[in-house]
Amino acid sequence: MGKNNFSNDTHYFRKKVDSQNGYALTFDDIICVPGFTNFDPVDIDIQTMIGPFSFKIPIFSAAMDTVTETEMAIQMALLGGLGVIHRNCPYEKQLMMVKKVKRARSFIVREVATVHPKDTDVQVKQKMDQFGVSGLVVLDDDDRVIGIVTARDLPYDQNQKYRVEEIMTKNPICSMDGISREEAQQKLYEIRKEKLPLVNDQNQLVGLITRKDLRPEFPDASKDKEGRLLCGLGISPNLPKNPFDLETFKKIDELCDIFFTDVADVYKSNDLTGIKEIMDITQTPIVLGNIGTFEAAERILTKFDFPEDKLIGLKVGMGSGSICITTIQTGIGAPTLFATAEVADAIQMYNPKIALISDGGFINSGDLTKAFAAGADVTMSGHFFAGCTESPGYIDTIGGRKVKVYRGMGSKEARSTGPYAFDRYANVKKLAEGVSDYVPFVGSVKGVLDQLCEGLKNGLVYGGARTIQEAKQIVIRKITHAGKIESSAHDLLSRK
């Protein structure tokens, strides 16, 4: 299969989904046609790129408050994808969640949780709970390392209070900054400890290495240059107006890897101008979205002069999510398949380096194959992951079935948490553009991703595509309602 069949056809993807003939098709309206396969299934490679970042799995979890917080973001990155943390909360909580992700798995932890020798055991426990760690480095007034206190040092007697200096392990063995992974492994083995503080010439703390972070448990994990997990965050199209929030946002910018503008329809002058202002004062690259048409992508890529190192992707789709009612409420929408093909043509025409993220509307793993055939580089979903163990919220039981809450960010329930994401919709204060309901509890996100990846890989095999890039050449055909019924399980006693 050739690799550039679509590069010279400016209507390649739009022709595939018939959008140039006036159709706005959805995933259920099309089917992918089998292609010639001249490779073994084990040769399938589904890794993808967004800007400078590589992902073994081309599937992200959406920035929704019932889908992605710390636990989901950590697991998604460990398994090779990316979790995009939601913004329906104060900036301080966003910063806390990003910090936890960056601390979760790292060869060297730079944001080290510390305590003072005069702190109490109660303060130690509070900090351990706050940062999700089992040990803290003890620093004196000059930031010099004088001890380590772990959960095992905390007293069993809750009635007796202790200071850190009474229960800590004093004068821990440290290493100089710049130690290699192999040297750190050997050092931890020699001292039989779980933690190795890193210090400078004045014995001041500059980092921390833990035994768990050196274990190669997740070889496909999405990591930055320092071995920390990659973390995405949904952001407003406008800078914070409150000075304190602005300072917090700048701290987030120092840690986060990719910003995803979290707007139902970003193709508005005010939003695009606001995003340019964000780019001017931040270092984090941005995926801009959502948009739904060739025209929107064309103008963004040609008229706004976004810095090449800052704009790394376009996120597409409007009104397709299972909890989204924007199209019903407003009459306006861009089904994800249609939007993917529209924007894919614009990217090929104006800047092929830009990644395309298809966002929402996925029901089955086969929909992923269809999205990549329509030009996507990455898929993003809330529906697939809302029922996972790692999603926020508790497991409930309805009619003997385990469930979890899943709600649209435009629902009245999501809006009731505060004004943090009111600019996500055109008039979110009055008009609900989402619903809240339950989804089945499905267990760990690993099981969900395994199933999705198996379906995607099998789809690429049948389509004759070895990679995500080659998947863009899989042939698409429209299918009738009768064809859709025939493609599903039918004529069975349990499926009347």
139-167 confidence digits (pLDDT tens): 999 999 999 998 888 887 777 788 999 99
CB 399 within 8 A of CB 489: no
Nearest Cα neighbor of 17 from 490, 486, 489, 472 is 472
Yes or no: say if 109 and 208 are a contact pair by the CB < 8 Å rule.
yes
Query: Higher pLDDT residue, 492 or 464?
Result: 464
pLDDT, tens digit (0-9, with 9 covering 90-100), for 179-227:
887 888 888 888 888 888 999 988 899 988 887 767 667 889 999 988 8
Q: Note the pLDDT tens digit of each residue in 267-315.
A: 999 999 999 999 999 999 999 989 999 999 999 999 999 999 999 999 9
pLDDT for 130 beyond 90: no
* Tokens describing residue 201: 């010439």
With a pLDDT cut of 70, the percent of the chain lying above it is: 96
Side chain identity at residue 464, one-letter code: G
CA nearest to 46, candidates 443, 386, 365: 365
pLDDT tens-place string over residues 314-324: 999 999 999 99
- For residue 290, say if its preceding peptide bond is cis, omega within 30 degrees of 0: yes
- The DSSP bridge pattern shows strands 53-55 and 48-50 to be antiparallel
Query: For residue 181, which of 206, 208, 214, 210 has the smallest C-alpha distance?
Result: 214
Residue 3 has pLDDT above 80, yes or no: no
User: What pLDDT is recorded for position 208?
Assistant: 87
Maximum alpha-carbon separation in the chain: 77
pLDDT tens by residue, 384-415: 999 999 999 899 999 999 999 999 888 888 88
pLDDT score, position 108: 76
What is the set of active-site residues?
Answer: 324, 424
Whole-angstrom distance, CA of residue 376 vs CA of residue 85? 21
Pick 214 or 63 by higher pLDDT: 63
What's the pLDDT at 1? 41
CATH number assigned to the domain covering 12-105+220-487: 3.20.20.70
Give which of 200, 229, 225 is closest to 213, Cα–Cα.
229
Report the run of H or E that residue 405 belongs to, with start and end: strand 401-407
Domain ranges of the chain: 12-105+220-487, 114-214
Residue 422 and residue 414 in contact, taking contact as beta carbons nearer than 8 Å: no
Q: Which CATH number fits domain 114-214: 3.40.470.10, 3.10.580.10, 3.40.50.720, 3.40.190.10?
A: 3.10.580.10
- Strands (E) in 151-298, as ranges, are 169-170, 175-176, 195-199, 205-210, 232-235, 258-261, 286-291
Helix (H, G, I), strand (E, B) or coil at 445: helix
Rounded CA separation 115/146 (Å): 11
